[in-house]
Amino acid sequence: MAPAHRGEALANLAGLLADRSRAAICLALLDGRAWTAMELAGHVGVAASTTTEHLNRLVAGGLLVERRQGRHRYVELANPATATLLEDLVSWLGPLPERPSGLRAVNAAVATARARTCYDHLAGTLGVSITDAMLGGGLLDTTAGLALTAAGRGWLVDTMGLSEQVLRAGRRPVVRACLDWTERRSHLAGAVGAALCARLLEQDWIRRVQPGRAVRLTAAGVTGLHATLGLDARALGLH
């Protein structure tokens, strides 16, 4: 692509996120789930017809994809790369200049910072703590960029019950470091990060907190993470 055309394409992409409502829609979809236009309209606080117009632009621009089930139309982020782009942009903003006001908003902010999903992998204090524990246990290595070690492969398959298929290189990196916008440090992303998050949900070690991206560490998760990674969730304020 010629430089001029590339510049135009980048300007078009930036334009999609230059509207506050469209940006809020994209951030809401970082929870990894599919939403209806009506749900997003309530979340963003604009009319359903306006939300539909925003969604049409985001789908046409490639940031979102739509799925239809009967009469219902759902939208979600186009792919993990889109989620990475959004999370990187949020990280670029730095800490929020204003603290939330009101008990509900404060509690939601605390829960989100403590443990949340970043599209399809874990973030917040929990995500960073799991990554640190994997590094400390020799399951991950940062000598030449984040990489999974032989011990890490064995742990994921034998201890956590993940499929060998997850550990094979594909379009998506096996592991990737994702800068956490609340912790200001990296947490584990990539195919392994997504599979590990799904496994913890499946085992009921974590549960989603509705609404939003926050998740909650369960008693089973406290025990399981201590047994498998030596992670002291209570000392970290995670439970």
Domain limits, the chain? 3-78, 84-229
Across 155-167, average pLDDT: 92
List pLDDT tens digits, range 220-235: 999 999 999 999 988 7
DSSP lists the bridge partners of residue 176 as 189
Query: Looking at domain 3-78, does it have CATH number 1.10.520.10?
Result: no
List pLDDT tens digits, range 106-159: 456 677 888 999 889 999 999 999 999 999 999 999 998 899 999 999 999 999
Residues across the chain: 239
How far is it, in rounded angstroms, from Cα 44 to Cα 76?
15
- This prediction's pTM: 0.78
3-state SS string for the chain: CCHHHHHHHHHHHHHHHCCHHHHHHHHHHHHCCCEEHHHHHHHHCCCHHHHHHHHHHHHHCCCEEEEEECCEEEEEECCHHHHHHHHHHHHHHCCCCCCCCCHHHHHHHHHHHHCEEECCEEEHHHHHHHHHHHHHCCCEECECECEECHHHHHHHHHHCCCCHHHHCCCCCCCCEEEECCCCCCEEEEHHHHHHHHHHHHHCCCEEECCCCCEEEECHHHHHHHHHHHCCCCCCCCCC
- Give residues with Cβ within 8 angstroms of 98, minimum separation 6: none
Rg (CA), the chain: 19
How far is it, in rounded angstroms, from Cα 164 to Cα 147?
16
List pLDDT tens digits, range 170-181: 778 899 998 888
Using omega within 30 degrees of 0 as the cis cutoff, is the peptide bond preceding 173 cis? no
How far is it, in rounded angstroms, from Cα 239 to Cα 232?
10
